[in-house]
Amino acid sequence: MSGNPSGGRAGAAPETILGEAADAAEAASNSKPLDVAARWGFAVMALLHVVIGAIVVALVLGAPGKAEPTGAIEQLAANPWGPAVMWSGCIGCAGLALWQLSEATLRARHLPRSEGLGKLVSSGFLAVAYGGVGYTFGSFAVGVSSDSSDSTAAFSRSLMDRPLGAPLLTALGLTVAGIGVYFVVKGLGKKFKEELRHFEGTHRGHLVSALGVTGHVAKGLALVLTGLLFVVAAATNDPGSSTGLDGSLKALLHHPFGPYLLLPIGAGFIAYGVFALIRARFGRM
């Protein structure tokens, strides 16, 4: 009598075992708890975009502020419910980062090679970004704050001190700018409708579409500016000039038409925040 006491698994090909493990992990990523955590993460990011947009508008009016996630989180931490908001934001962003990671790896494997590679880059970048925001929430929750502009500049200096530092910083800048272009194209092409069909064909759908276009384009332009600062920092050997989103937006204030560009960008961030809140509730995951 021949047979395998383990049910034949000992003779299974390694790629078959890995495939089954990936299928199991993908099934786990479709669980209700992760869905709820990811949606909560979208809501947290929506709130951050609204606050960042308000800070940008305030900058044009002469008020101080840091127009980036850390500045927005700092303002949220200052309210009486600060600690609870910080831990809640940390959990939500962690869930959203984990969901984006599953999009970049587990679900991207079912796509054609070119689409899968694009999904790996875009969702992978977002997973890192959301994870970073979650880490910032956690840092504020335990009483440790930081300035992201200083952190970005320090990171750029550290990278420039390494072999091939300038090309790597340039590649990073082009990647961030490329993500920005992706957001602009996604907004103008209304490709976000694939994620949100709940209001399709309704009067409210036109409003949601307008918010999506305005928000995606504004966020995309801001990311393009941020990426260009990395490229300029590498080209001029001045890593201190790469000060992230806050620095890229404040740099516009020194240009003649800068304030006229910042106002619609700030309004666009608010629009994106409202759209993201709708996405959190009704969007397809």
Q: What is the mean pLDDT of the chain?
A: 80
Q: In this structure, which amino acid lies at residue 51?
A: V
Judge whether 14 lies within some domain: no
Q: What mean pLDDT do residues 127-134 have? A: 90
Q: List C-alpha distances in Å: 105 to 3, 121, 162, 250, 255.
A: 35, 10, 30, 36, 42
Question: What per-residue confidence (pLDDT) applies to 5?
Answer: 47
Judge whether 164 lies within some domain: yes
In the numeric block, the tokens 């000992």 are attached to 10
Select the highest-mean-pLDDT range: 117-126, 207-216, 255-264: 207-216
Percent of the chain topping pLDDT 70:
79
Judge whether 7 lies within some domain: no
Judge whether 81 lies within some domain: yes
Judge whether 15 lies within some domain: no
What's the structural domain count of the chain?
A: 1
> Using CA atoms in the order 83, 65, 219, 209, what is the torsion angle rounded to 10 degrees?
70
Residue 174: which domain range?
28-282
Judge whether 153 lies within some domain: yes
Of 42-46, 135-139, 140-144, give the lowest mean pLDDT range.
Answer: 140-144
More confident residue, 192 or 15: 192
Judge whether 145 lies within some domain: yes
CA distance 176 to 103: 19
What is the DSSP code (8-state) at residue 7? Answer: T
Please answer whether residues 282 and 202 qualify as being in contact, where contact means their C-beta atoms are separated by less than 8 angstroms.
no
pTM of the model: 0.78
Structure tokens at 51: 């606050």
What is the DSSP code (8-state) at residue 106? Answer: I
Judge whether 9 lies within some domain: no
Write the pLDDT tens digit of every residue in 149-194.
Answer: 666 767 777 777 777 778 888 888 898 888 889 899 998 988 887 7
Report the residue count for the chain.
Answer: 285
